[in-house]
Amino acid sequence: MGNQERIVVVGASLAGLRAAATLREEGFAGALTLVGTEPHRPYNRPPLSKSVLEGDDDVSLPGSEEIDAEWRGGRSAVRLDAEARTVTLDDRAELPYDGLVIATGARPRRLPEEQMALAGVHVLRTIDHALELRKALADVQGRVVVIGGGFIGGEVASTIRAAGHEVTIVDAAEPMVRVLGRTVGSWLADHHRANGVELVTNTRVAELVGEAGRVTGVRLDDSRVVAADLVVVGAGVAPNTEWLEGSGLHVDDGVLTDSRLFAIGHGDIVAAGDVARWPHATFGHETVRIEHWSNANEQGAAAARNLLRGPSEAVPFGQVPALGTRVHGTRLQYAGLPHLADASTVVTGSPEDGKFSVAFTRGDVLVGAATVNFPKELTRLRKAIEAGESL
Ligand SMILES: Cc1cc2nc3c(=O)[nH]c(=O)nc-3n(C[C@H](O)[C@H](O)[C@H](O)COP(=O)(O)OP(=O)(O)OC[C@H]3O[C@@H](n4cnc5c(N)ncnc54)[C@H](O)[C@@H]3O)c2cc1C
C-alpha cells in the first residue's frame, strides 16, 4: 500500500462511492473525503428512466449510508492545483490530498438556454430531474416528444408510452443506429412503432417553439413542427471536466488516463466512471469513455486499488463494456464497442422473430455484440470479445 494519509474523492455517485468503499476495504485508514454537487447521498440512476417514472421512489445504492468518509454534499469542486495537491470547493474550502479520485461523471447536453427555459422542457440525469418529469407527466395530458432515440431516450419513450401517453421520438437517424448498426437500428424502429411510438427520423431539431413561456412544439430543420405538450431532451451527455481547467491534466472528451487509470503524468490522481477516458487493451489501446453502470462500478473500485498500490504496482483496467436495457418489455443488450466495427452479421435468430444476436467485427476480430431477447448469446459473445476471437 502507498503512504497516502489524505484521499479526496470528487464526484459522489456510483464511481465515487465504489472508489471510497474500496479504499476502506483495502485498508486505507487515513482521512477520506467525498465531495458531491448533488445534496443527496450517492444513489442509483438506472431506475430514473424506468421505475421512478412509474411511481417507485427506490433509487438506493447499497453501501451509500455506511461509507466511512467525511461527506461534503451539495458542494462542487471548482479548481484543482495538481502541484500543490489541493482541491478548492465552491465555498472556498481547500482540501489538501495525497491521493485524488476524479469521478465527476457527465451531464445531459442541452439546447440553447432560452429554449430549455420553456415550461414543459426536461432532461433526465438526476433524481430531481426524474421527480420533476414524473410530476409534469401527471399534470399534462398530451403528446410527449423525446429528442434522441438513444438508450435513455428509448427507455423514457417506452416507460411513458406504457403509462398511456402519446409519444414521438425525433432523431437524426434510426434509433441507436450509430451505436448498434443498421440491423438493430431498424429492428428497434419497428419495435417502437409496433408499440405505438411515432418516429420522426433522419431530420434534425432546429429549435423548440413555445407560447406564453410554455413549449408547444419542436421545429425540425425542414421547417415542419411536431406538436408537443412536453419535451424530454435526450441528446447525450458531456463529461464534467470544466473544474479541471488550468490544472494541467489532459482533458479531451473526458479526463485522459493511462491504462491503469492514472491521469496522464500524475501518479497521485486517478479517474473513473463516465468522466474517464482510457486506452483499452482489448480494442488496440483505442481510448474509450464508457457511460455504463457496470463500468463505473468496476472502474471506481479498480482506480481506488491502483491509487493505493501506486503506479509501479498498479494493473491495467480492461473490463469489456456491457449494457442492458428494456424497451417496451423487450431485452436489448450489447457488449464491446460495436461502433468500431467495419462489418456486422446476424449470427443467431432473426430480427423478424424478435430474438437474435448480431456480431460486430473489425478485420476478422470480434469487437462487439448485440442481442435481442437472447441473454445467453450475449454472455457467449462477450467472452469471445474478451478473448479477442475472430468470428
Ligand atoms: C436515467 C438514466 C438511466 C440509466 N440506466 C442505465 C442502465 O440501465 N444501465 C447502465 O449500464 N447504465 C445506465 N445509466 C448510466 C449510469 O447510471 C452511469 O454510467 C453512472 O451513473 C456513471 O456513474 P459516475 O459515478 O461515473 O457518474 P455520475 O453518475 O454522472 O455521477 C457524477 C457525480 O459527480 C457530481 N459532480 C459533477 N461535477 C462535480 C464537481 N465539480 N464537484 C463535485 N461533484 C461533481 C455530479 O453531480 C454527480 O453526482 C443510466 C443513466 C441515467 C441518467
Mind listing the pLDDT tens digit for each residue in 306-333?
Answer: 999 999 999 999 999 999 999 999 999 9
Q: Over the chain, what is the mean pLDDT?
A: 96
Nearest Cα residue to atom 17 of ligand 1:
45
377 CB within 6 A, ligand 1: no
Helix spans in 163-292 (H):
177-194
What fold, for 329-386? Enolase-like; domain 1 (3.30.390)
Under CATH, which number does the domain 110-235 receive?
Answer: 3.50.50.60
Instruction: Report residue 350 as a C-alpha cell.
Output: 432473426
For residues 105-131, average pLDDT: 98
| pLDDT of 2 over the 90 cut | no
Domain with CATH 3.50.50.60 in the chain: 6-107+238-309, 110-235
283 CB within 6 A, ligand 1: no
Residue 163, classified by CB atoms within 10 Å of its CB into exposed (0-12), middle (13-18) or buried (19+), is middle
Q: Which CATH class is domain 6-107+238-309?
A: alpha beta
Q: How much is the pLDDT for 247?
A: 98
321 CB within 6 A, ligand 1: no
Q: How much is the pLDDT for 1?
A: 57
If you write DSSP's letter for every residue of 123-176 in order, what string do you get?
--SSHHHHHHHHHHHHH--SEEEEE--SHHHHHHHHHHHHTT-EEEEE-SSSTT
| pLDDT of 65 over the 90 cut | no
Distance 293 CA to ligand 1 centre (A): 8
Percent of the chain at pLDDT exceeding 70: 99
- Comparing C-alpha atoms, which of 210, 208, 240 is closest to residue 37? 240
For residues 39-56, average pLDDT: 97
pTM above threshold 0.95: yes
Residue predicted with more confidence, 74 or 390: 74
Nearest Cα residue to atom 6 of ligand 1:
46
Residue predicted with more confidence, 319 or 1: 319
243 CB within 6 A, ligand 1: yes
Domain with CATH 3.30.390.30 in the chain: 329-386
Q: Which atom of ligand 1 is nearest to the CA of 291?
A: 19
14 CB within 6 A, ligand 1: yes
pLDDT tens digits, 351-381: 999 999 999 999 999 999 999 999 999 999 9
For residues 208-229, average pLDDT: 97
Distance 195 CA to ligand 1 centre (A): 29
37 CB within 6 A, ligand 1: yes
Q: Look at the block and give the residue holding cell 412536453.
A: 230
Task: Report the helix count and the strand count for the chain, using DSSP H and E.
Answer: 8, 26
